[in-house]
Structure 1
Amino acid sequence: MHLRHPAERASRLIYQAFGAYRADFRHLTLSAADLFETADWRELQKLSAQRIDLYDAYIHQANQSLQQRLTEEVLSQTQFWQLTAERYQVRIESRMDRELAATFFNSVLWRQKDRLSGSVNASALDLSFSSGRLVAPQAYCRTYTTEEGLVKLLQRLFRDFSFAIPWENARRDLRNIIRYLRTHLPEDGQLAQVDVIRSVFYRNKAAYLVGRISSRYWHKPFVLAVLNNDAGAVYVDTLVTDEDDVSVIFSFTRSYFLVDVPVPSAFIDFLHSLIPMKSTAELYTSLGFYKQGKAEFYRDFSAHLMAAEDLLQQAPGVPGMVMMVFTLPSFPVVFKVIKDRFSSSKKITAARVNQCYQLVKRHDRVGRMADTFEFRELSLPQEKFEPEFLQQLLALASRTVTLQGDKVLFSQVWAERRMTPLNLYLEQAMARNDEGAIFHAINEYGKAIRQLAVANIFAGDMLFKNFGITRHGRVVFYDYDEIQYLTDCNFREIPEPLYPEQELAGEPWYDIGPNDVFPEEFTLLTACDTRIRRIFNQQHGDLLEAHTWREMQEQVRRGEVVDVFPYRQHQRFLR
């Protein structure tokens, strides 16, 4: 069979689908500027969710086109896919986003894996393409020098990044920036240069100018947060130059930025120079290229696993009632697998768990929910597992985990950034009588619950074990099997008993609907220690009252988008 012409046609079809995906992705991204300037926050959130759905839609379209134009016999030929890959690689060679194009091809190929003849599967044909083209920084950055002084530099920057609406008070904003720089920059070297990415980073209710400030001896991140005052003008809310603070802005707990990225690999290299603790996978994902982030993660983890001396094992914390969680201690990620059977207290199904994880992927995570990578048909070496834990996996998650030769095959697994479980963090803090750590964690816990609520998320099971604390000290929710929209809940007060025997009975004396929630019962969450209960009641006691939750529901129903920014209140400039 001559496969040259079908391969040429297939490479063209996949390339056209990728081009259409990138054009649509860019069109949606560029729409963010108008929505920010008109303060249309609801539409901006919808736009973010809509953009997430694009990738799978175009992968499906590409595969449909292949099936319509090529025969089953051709599509099942290993040689055909090898030729198609060669033709496709030629087509993308001159693209500035060729690493994205390569991942797109591999996604199409993966969907065809069940067709491939013989023992060859899609991963065996998953060719390694080079990253994007090298370009000069001037192509994606503007450079400003202090030859005419800092004031002139900032005035030029404000002109270059002008919005369609005016600055509320540019002179005040300039003063705030200069005052900040004079008090926060190192003394060993005068500021000489500022490099700022040409594209504005939009997310939720903010626009960010992202760059780098340098002297002869050091360089630091430079992130200006710009807000809309809802009255037709913009203002600078803060400047962030601390590496850890900038890392929080690009956190895995936030929605993806809407930013025009003509040369993705160059953007990633620049961002990585600002926040080197962030992996390439995390940075690609933060820009909305979550499939590229997933591919980068898989490559990084696979390489690390092969060289690692430690073994995959059960993750620290209380074992889950729905998920089995494991980790490689030397790699900062946990993996989650659905169990065959759930605890009797869990009235959910595996399908519902999948829906919950999809909800989190598409929803505004407000810095309080961890993003995940979902893998299907993931294969890992058996020798890299602790034998005892592997037997538990095979026994408790046999529908998802199987042995195939010397490989452990997961039909479905989620990867998530590893955090310290909040219950373990609190146990350790109490053991050393660290009142400051206890106060911070409980206050953060309450803030997390509250901020999720105003984003229309009710966590459901709010036990400490279902939250983690990041290296930056932020409390994050990561157990999604009981998550639901806040507006779907019915928050009620517990009715007064008619007589004492009712109160002492083992069963409630009142009817409970499927979505009924009684906030008074949340007192059980803090019953473990009087210090914890005192702090929670002082800082967040109103969360134990049903009317507080009903008020937050009304706020959501009115369409209000509450400010939840990725920096602390004390960092904001005075207006």
Structure 2
Amino acid sequence: MKQRDAELIALLILDGFTDYRKQFKAITLQARPCFEAADWPAIQCLSVERIDLYGAMVERVSRQIRAAIRDSAESALWVAVKASYLSLIVARDDADLSETFYNSVYCALFGHRQITDQLMFISSTAQRPSQHRTLNTGQIYRRYTLKKGLINVINQLMDDYQFAIPWENKRRDIRNLLRYIRAHVAADIVADENTVIEVIQAIFYRNKGAYIVGRVQFNHHSLPFILPILNNEHGAVYIDTALTDENDVSIVFSFTRTYFLVDVDVPAEFICFLHSLIPMKSIAELYNSIGFYKQGKAEFYRDFMTHMEQTSDQFEVAPGTKGMVMTVFTLPSYPVVFKIIKDRFASAKQITREGVIAKYQLVKRHDRAGRMADTQEFVNLTLPRKRFSDTLLAELKQVAAASVDIDADEVVIKHLWTERRMIPLNIYLDEMLRQDNEQAVFLAINEFGKCVKELAAANIFAGDMLFKNFGVTRHGRVVFYDYDEISYLTECNFRAIPEPLYPEQELAAEPWYSVAANDVFPEEFSLLTACDHRVRRLFDQLHGDLLDPQWWVNMQTQVRGGAIIDLFPYRKLCRFDRKTLI
């Protein structure tokens, strides 16, 4: 009887996973016609629909199991369930994803407890492909050689990646690419007939862009490249630029951007190819980038646990100004922070625990515009107590006791988020000012203003815009990461501060004017830069318009009108000239 129950549960999970993959693919494939029709709101809706799909499917399967099997949460049964399920997925091309789906259903039934490799797939049984072996080229990428010359290769590539609408000016795009290649790729690479170009067959879609992704293989070396394709919104497409610098390619796949809509049949091999292009990106981040964020979470957890086994440093309170809503800690040897909601918030914070969770869910589903860090949510994460510093344990007991269980051997954190560790902007600026590094300060302040403006263009108002709530990435980009006060831009009421009727009003401790919950006074942002006259001067010079309520009202008008502003993951300076033939 137990064996029959185990087989039924395994079949229910696999049926649910198969349906999930089918729906995931169907949603993804809609991106191409939406791109060709320049239907940008539809593409954003597809992204949200696909994110929501996973949780809905896991919940559906969990309900089916509870209805079919009375003792479905009996742990002894799941030894047989896992064995039965493994026999069903062993030959699948997406076994890695199917294991993670199983784990999600298991955790839904067991409340994220009894996490053992005997009952679920803590360690993956799926074989990971090697970058050094030949991949399934028929499914992953096309190959081109230079035997017929570079121009013929580019021409053929553009034919192979033709859309339902024509190229705006194919001859111009070919010449733009030739000019770029002459300027950025060594001549001996281009001249060598043995050089091979390998291009992923599937096109990557995100917001208003489509991306052709590949690599140039030469003399046992590899050069990544991305060709961003844009729609001119008049029935034609064009190549906007080319990216071959590894850092530029990495930024396109940043953890601050919306997940790509890209058709993937064999996920592990697809990720293996991507990892060969940008090896500094973790496997977890790459899975996230193409929409398999639960697989990204699984890969992160496995990598983190392996790292814990190989290191001995202790978790400690994260550097930076302590937050009023979250307490944050980190492991110095690992580039991630762990964020826990505090038991009580500072009186200035008018938000509940449920409200904080809702804000993080909003960020997960919204266009992050390259300016908000992605997060992974964990429930009942168990870590060894010996790896926690005494200072951190005291901090957790004091401010987050309701979220933490501590015994002699383990620390169980009931609810937290992980996020990429960055240098807090206030700390970064203080250090650069101390070093008199004017160039770094200039770039950071410019990035800060661009971050705020690009979030606004994506209908996000950061709320608490103190420098401590922004971080600096290794690429020098400024990213927002404190979400408890974010709101939709269109929900805010931007106002100018009224003139006082008499001097005593201006000197009073309380405002002399009424303030509603959604009122925002941009003039007050000047307080952000009052710390240093150099910072204030740069901010006024570069982004002084952010102090003007009318700038915000104008942006609201654009957003309410359905405008989706161009926010591409590369600099405007590198875009190709479309006006003339070269």
Q: Measured at CA, do residues 114 and 198 of structure 1 come closer, stay the same or move farther in structure 2, by a change above 3 Å?
A: closer
- Looking at structure 2, the residues matched to 544 and 114 of structure 1 have their Cα atoms a distance apart, in angstroms, of 47
* Kept after mapping to 1: 8 A contact 2:139/2:265: no
Residue identity opposite 1:202 in structure 2 = Y
Matches within 5 A, 1:74-85: 75-85=72-82
Matches within 5 A, 1:409-488: 409-488=412-491
* Kept after mapping to 2: 8 A contact 1:449/1:459: yes
- Looking at structure 2, the residues matched to 566 and 16 of structure 1 have their Cα atoms a distance apart, in angstroms, of 38
Residue identity opposite 1:214 in structure 2 = Q
Name the residue aligned to 1:293: 296
- Looking at structure 2, the residues matched to 124 and 329 of structure 1 have their Cα atoms a distance apart, in angstroms, of 31
Q: Does 1:130 align with 2:130?
A: no
- Looking at structure 1, the residues matched to 73 and 248 of structure 2 have their Cα atoms a distance apart, in angstroms, of 50
Residue identity opposite 2:33 in structure 1 = D
| Alignment match of 1:269 (pick from 265, 269, 272) | 272
Name the residue aligned to 2:87: 90
Name the residue aligned to 2:156: 156
**SS at 2:340 equivalent:** strand
Residue identity opposite 2:298 in structure 1 = A
Name the residue aligned to 1:186: 186
Q: Measure how far apart 1:182 and its partner are.
A: 1.1
Name the residue aligned to 2:28: 29
Q: Measure how far apart 1:309 and its partner are.
A: 2.4
Q: Measured at CA, do residues 76 and 363 of structure 1 come closer, stay the same or move farther in structure 2, by a change above 3 Å?
A: closer
Name the residue aligned to 1:199: 202
**SS at 1:60 equivalent:** helix
- Looking at structure 1, the residues matched to 6 and 383 of structure 2 have their Cα atoms a distance apart, in angstroms, of 31
Q: Measured at CA, do residues 205 and 68 of structure 1 come closer, stay the same or move farther in structure 2, by a change above 3 Å?
A: same
Name the residue aligned to 1:17: 16
1:476-519, Cα deviation, whole Å (9 max, x unpaired):
00000100000000000111111111111111110000000000
* Kept after mapping to 1: 8 A contact 2:112/2:380: no
Q: Measure how far apart 1:549 and its partner are.
A: 0.3
Q: Does 1:104 align with 2:101?
A: yes
* Kept after mapping to 2: 8 A contact 1:132/1:264: no
Residue identity opposite 1:476 in structure 2 = V
| Alignment match of 2:248 (pick from 245, 248, 251) | 245
Residue identity opposite 1:195 in structure 2 = E
Q: Measured at CA, do residues 124 and 383 of structure 1 come closer, stay the same or move farther in structure 2, by a change above 3 Å?
A: farther
Residue identity opposite 2:425 in structure 1 = L
- Looking at structure 2, the residues matched to 196 and 138 of structure 1 have their Cα atoms a distance apart, in angstroms, of 11
- Looking at structure 2, the residues matched to 435 and 392 of structure 1 have their Cα atoms a distance apart, in angstroms, of 37
* Kept after mapping to 2: 8 A contact 1:132/1:263: no
TM-score (norm 2): 0.96
- Looking at structure 2, the residues matched to 30 and 377 of structure 1 have their Cα atoms a distance apart, in angstroms, of 36
Q: Which structure 1 segments of 5+ residues have no match?
A: none
Q: Measured at CA, do residues 15 and 217 of structure 1 come closer, stay the same or move farther in structure 2, by a change above 3 Å?
A: closer
Q: Measure how far apart 1:93 and its partner are.
A: 1.3
Q: Measure how far apart 1:76 and its partner are.
A: 3.5
* Kept after mapping to 2: 8 A contact 1:466/1:478: yes
Q: CA RMSD in A?
A: 1.3
Name the residue aligned to 2:56: 57
- Looking at structure 2, the residues matched to 485 and 204 of structure 1 have their Cα atoms a distance apart, in angstroms, of 18
Name the residue aligned to 2:132: none
- Looking at structure 2, the residues matched to 71 and 555 of structure 1 have their Cα atoms a distance apart, in angstroms, of 54
**SS at 1:240 equivalent:** coil
Q: Percent identity?
A: 54
**SS at 1:239 equivalent:** coil
Q: Measure how far apart 1:115 and its partner are.
A: 11
Tell me whether 135-144 or 334-343 shows the greater mean CA deviation. Answer: 135-144
- Looking at structure 2, the residues matched to 114 and 502 of structure 1 have their Cα atoms a distance apart, in angstroms, of 55
Residue identity opposite 2:138 in structure 1 = Q
**SS at 2:168 equivalent:** coil
- Looking at structure 1, the residues matched to 117 and 414 of structure 2 have their Cα atoms a distance apart, in angstroms, of 15
* Kept after mapping to 2: 8 A contact 1:96/1:132: no
- Looking at structure 2, the residues matched to 340 and 269 of structure 1 have their Cα atoms a distance apart, in angstroms, of 42
- Looking at structure 2, the residues matched to 387 and 124 of structure 1 have their Cα atoms a distance apart, in angstroms, of 33
1:109-149, Cα deviation, whole Å (9 max, x unpaired):
11121599xxx556651233333575423331000000000
**SS at 2:433 equivalent:** helix
- Looking at structure 1, the residues matched to 49 and 126 of structure 2 have their Cα atoms a distance apart, in angstroms, of 27
- Looking at structure 2, the residues matched to 408 and 508 of structure 1 have their Cα atoms a distance apart, in angstroms, of 46
TM-score (norm 1): 0.97
Q: Does 1:381 align with 2:384?
A: yes
Residue identity opposite 2:200 in structure 1 = I
1:258-292, Cα deviation, whole Å (9 max, x unpaired):
00000100011111111000000000000100000
- Looking at structure 2, the residues matched to 256 and 121 of structure 1 have their Cα atoms a distance apart, in angstroms, of 28
* Kept after mapping to 1: 8 A contact 2:459/2:489: yes
* Kept after mapping to 2: 8 A contact 1:334/1:416: yes
Q: Measured at CA, do residues 180 and 399 of structure 1 come closer, stay the same or move farther in structure 2, by a change above 3 Å?
A: same
- Looking at structure 1, the residues matched to 438 and 417 of structure 2 have their Cα atoms a distance apart, in angstroms, of 35
Name the residue aligned to 1:557: 560
Name the residue aligned to 1:347: 350
Q: Does 1:257 align with 2:260?
A: yes
Residue identity opposite 2:162 in structure 1 = S
| Alignment match of 1:509 (pick from 506, 509, 512) | 512
Residue identity opposite 1:408 in structure 2 = V
- Looking at structure 2, the residues matched to 530 and 321 of structure 1 have their Cα atoms a distance apart, in angstroms, of 27
Tell me whether 266-275 or 396-405 shows the greater mean CA deviation. Answer: 396-405
Q: Measure how far apart 1:80 and its partner are.
A: 1.7
* Kept after mapping to 2: 8 A contact 1:315/1:325: yes
| Alignment match of 1:323 (pick from 322, 326, 329) | 326
Name the residue aligned to 1:535: 538
- Looking at structure 2, the residues matched to 86 and 482 of structure 1 have their Cα atoms a distance apart, in angstroms, of 46
Q: Measure how far apart 1:430 and its partner are.
A: 0.4
Q: Measured at CA, do residues 169 and 480 of structure 1 come closer, stay the same or move farther in structure 2, by a change above 3 Å?
A: same
Q: Does 1:4 align with 2:3?
A: yes
Tell me whether 362-371 or 184-193 shows the greater mean CA deviation. Answer: 184-193
Tell me whether 43-52 or 305-314 shows the greater mean CA deviation. Answer: 305-314
Q: Does 1:171 align with 2:171?
A: yes
- Looking at structure 1, the residues matched to 332 and 323 of structure 2 have their Cα atoms a distance apart, in angstroms, of 19
- Looking at structure 1, the residues matched to 448 and 339 of structure 2 have their Cα atoms a distance apart, in angstroms, of 23
Name the residue aligned to 1:390: 393
1:54-99, Cα deviation, whole Å (9 max, x unpaired):
1110000111111111113xx1333321111111111111111110
* Kept after mapping to 1: 8 A contact 2:112/2:379: no
Residue identity opposite 2:165 in structure 1 = I
- Looking at structure 2, the residues matched to 12 and 509 of structure 1 have their Cα atoms a distance apart, in angstroms, of 67
